[in-house]
Structure 1
Amino acid sequence: MPLRLATFNIENLMARFDFSGFRKQWRQDRVVKMFGVEDQELYRDLEQARLISETDDTRQLSALAIAETAADILCLQEVDDMAALQAFEENYLYRMLGYGYRQKILVEGNDSRGIDVAVMMRDRTRDGLPIELVDVRSHATLTYQDLDLFTPQIALTNQPQDRIFRRDCLEVDVKIGGRPLTLYVVHFKSMTGSREEGDARMATMPVREAEARAVRHIIEQRFDRNLANRNFVICGDMNDYQERVKVIGDRLDGYRFEPAREEVSALDIFSRDGFAENIVRRRPEMDRWTLYHARGPQEQHLCQLDYLWLSPALSRANPDAVPQIIRNGQPYRTVFPPDQAVERFPRIGWDRPKASDHCPVVVSLEIQ
């Protein structure tokens, strides 16, 4: 009987207001910029009203995307705190799904914005197998010097005592019908925020590589020689890709799509020597993307940032499993390749509201 496992960057599931845009223009919402608000109290009032209105639409769409996965276990990224997760589940998911995700796991991590990774689980799978939470471990306090991962490249932006994970590597042990499964939920360093000019992805690559090496170290230390026979999945937004689909053209002249392989990726650390399988690669080459990136018509591509990396044992036990990518919550600005267009959820906008900038990924797995 399969387990439905999903990962989803839900994009800023917040339970607080951020008023820093009044003094930091790059943090200010574009609609408020149109009005040139100079009074701080007025700005706060407008920002609260804007965010409350926008959030209701957004979270309805996020809940629709989650409902579409029909997941038994859902790994989330960009969650503010447990209060925000609880409120979202009770007021949005429950209204759509009824009896839902009663088991919730969140440990405060390292992110400067306060966004964390989390897990929500049903008590039973859709087929009635019990889902038992066995143990939870956070690895947020691991430092570069702890794992001997401090390199000259890392030294450009970090100190030896700095923490490796930008958020956390949340390790969750469960049993599915009595059979063990371990989840490693992550959200790696973004491809922005570098002090270097030029290619931001390459400039931030050393941090993501260290995060990937740390995850692999944790797993190898845990399972040692039995690794090949253990059930584990590395889940989350890894902010990197090994391939992408270039989007060339515009709406007037039309688009063409070109697949491209990357010479280097932080995720090579997982795929190297069969350590784990990116199960999304079982989909056609042009149909693996979970995010549309665009900075004007000259820089557009579709890429996979959201992953379910299966252990060798799970991969062997599920040779025919092919994941789904839920794209109905994408805004209308997202450019879809031919034959991939989907019916959007109600009230989706050109850029917003939307379910998230990311797409949920879900797969049905037999746990043996």
Structure 2
Amino acid sequence: MFFNAEDAMRLAVYNVENLFDRARVMNLEDWAAGKPVLDRFSELNALLGKAAYDQADKSRMGILMTELGLGKQDQGPFVLLRRNRSGLLTRPRTGPLTITADGRADWVGSLELRDEPVNHEAVLNTARVIHDVGADVLAVVEAESRPALAEFNRIMMPAVGGTPYRHVMVIDGNDPRGIDVGLMTGWDHRIGRMRSHVDDRDDGDRLIFSRDCPLFEVSTPGGQIITVLVNHLKSKGYGKPAESDAWRQLQAARVADIYRELVAAGQTHVAVVGDLNDTPDSAALQPLLVATDLRDIATLPGHEDGGYPGTYDASAAGNKIDYILLSPALQARTRASGVFRKGMWPGARAKRWPAYSTIRKPMEAASDHAALWVDLDL
């Protein structure tokens, strides 16, 4: 872990893109091939969740199920329909399936994405990134669950010569795909008070966070309290762009409100971290990046980005979607910050950045995301 002052702390955030298992459709090398599946999955899930189904709903459900490979059975190539009790549909020997339920209360079950194991070398490379970044406090994005993150910490960190973190916490969020956010801390940085915002709703009673915005209070060896808000805002990956932009802006505004509430309560050492799924100039992120006094570490003196402004994929400016945002008190305590890309695929021909020798093809990359870190002298 990082120590070169009496009460110094390295804070980092890393989108690990799942540790052991990942939705099969999200493991495809060609994102364009998976997007239509996720679009249909999202639409069908929304329809299945309605209290009452009209004839148009039933017709559309049948079409979507057939397109997802559920026309003849409950398991398609990417999607699984769990029916713990029948009543949702019938599949006649001839003709298309028929939705027989009149609403969500008429059947028991769920629609799920099918998982498959993540490439083993990719899992090892993920552990290498975490070991080499050496954070005292690490926010993790896209962890399957607390048991999965704890198992990864216990087994994979020693496998690459690292020390397991002492504290591992993930609070289940709203995403049915099992991509939650959590926090790992070293022996001298204890997780204290935690608060989930998983049930926060807008004026129309819709859930605000597609995952969660958990609050973690971390105590340092010197007795300081750092409050960390971990985020994974709505993706641009599927759904209508205007709707996802609006939802992401709603989420950013709620995070900003939570931050202001903390400041009003006297908490000055606050960090907002995570995959915000949008660029600094986007309208969606303005409630956080412009309407508060939080500042992105990328804008602070001494930040090292390796010549690439982005944090995802090719790391161009349009790929800047991961953030560590600091309150004024933490901005004043910043000593250095940077982007760690050795676990990312560097490109087939022109190697954009130094990568681990164990990354020989894209599937072996630890993640499409870089890890971000900041050193704080507290």
TM-score when normalising by structure 2: 0.69
CA drift of 1:331 comes to 1.1
| Structure of larger gyration radius | 2
2:30 alignment partner in structure 1: none
1:342 alignment partner in structure 2: 353
Question: Residue 194 of structure 1: SS of its match in structure 2?
Answer: coil
**Alpha-carbon spacing, 1:76–1:343, altered in 2? closer, same or farther (3 Å):** same
1:132-153 superposed Cα distances (whole Å, 9 cap, x missing partner): 22211100100012xxxxxxxx
Q: How does 1:1-368 map to 2 (within 5 A)?
A: 1=5, 2-15=8-21, 51-52=116-117, 54-124=118-188, 131-145=189-203, 160-177=204-221, 178-195=223-240, 200=241, 203-224=243-264, 226=266, 230-242=268-280, 262=281, 264-272=282-290, 275-282=293-300, 283=303, 286-292=307-313, 302-318=318-334, 321-333=335-347, 341-367=352-378
CA drift of 1:166 comes to 0.8
**Alpha-carbon spacing, 1:268–1:223, altered in 2? closer, same or farther (3 Å):** same
Cα distance in structure 2, aligned partners of 1:287 and 1:20: 25
Aligned length: 293
CA drift of 1:66 comes to 1.0
Question: Residue 271 of structure 2: SS of its match in structure 1?
Answer: strand
Q: Is the 8 A contact 2:157 2:163 kept in 1?
A: no
CA drift of 1:237 comes to 0.4
Question: Residue 291 of structure 1: SS of its match in structure 2?
Answer: coil
1:247 alignment partner in structure 2: none
Query: What's the RMSD between the two structures over aligned residues?
Result: 3.2
1:144-181 superposed Cα distances (whole Å, 9 cap, x missing partner): 12xxxxxxxxxxxxxx1111011000100111120111
Question: Residue 169 of structure 1: SS of its match in structure 2?
Answer: coil
CA drift of 1:335 comes to 8.6
Cα distance in structure 2, aligned partners of 1:108 and 1:279: 28
Could you tell me the percent identity over the aligned residues?
25
CA drift of 1:26 comes to 5.4
CA drift of 1:269 comes to 1.6
CA drift of 1:301 comes to 6.1
**Alpha-carbon spacing, 1:111–1:3, altered in 2? closer, same or farther (3 Å):** same
Cα distance in structure 1, aligned partners of 2:255 and 2:358: 39
Question: Residue 85 of structure 1: SS of its match in structure 2?
Answer: helix
Q: Is the 8 A contact 1:274 1:312 kept in 2?
A: no
1:254 alignment partner in structure 2: none
Cα distance in structure 2, aligned partners of 1:122 and 1:171: 18
- Letter matched to residue 266 of structure 1: A
Cα distance in structure 1, aligned partners of 2:348 and 2:283: 24
Question: Residue 279 of structure 2: SS of its match in structure 1?
Answer: coil
Unpaired runs of 5+ residues, structure 1, are 29-37, 45-49, 125-130, 146-159, 243-261, 295-299
- Letter matched to residue 250 of structure 2: A
TM-score when normalising by structure 1: 0.71
Question: Residue 12 of structure 1: SS of its match in structure 2?
Answer: coil
Q: Is the 8 A contact 1:293 1:301 kept in 2?
A: no
Cα distance in structure 1, aligned partners of 2:348 and 2:251: 29
CA drift of 1:16 comes to 7.1
Cα distance in structure 2, aligned partners of 1:6 and 1:348: 22
Q: Is the 8 A contact 1:280 1:322 kept in 2?
A: no
CA drift of 1:322 comes to 3.1
CA drift of 1:312 comes to 0.8
**Alpha-carbon spacing, 1:332–1:315, altered in 2? closer, same or farther (3 Å):** closer
**Alpha-carbon spacing, 1:87–1:276, altered in 2? closer, same or farther (3 Å):** same
- Letter matched to residue 276 of structure 1: L
Cα distance in structure 2, aligned partners of 1:57 and 1:82: 22
Cα distance in structure 2, aligned partners of 1:167 and 1:92: 25
Unpaired runs of 5+ residues, structure 2, are 28-33, 39-71, 79-114
CA drift of 1:303 comes to 2.2
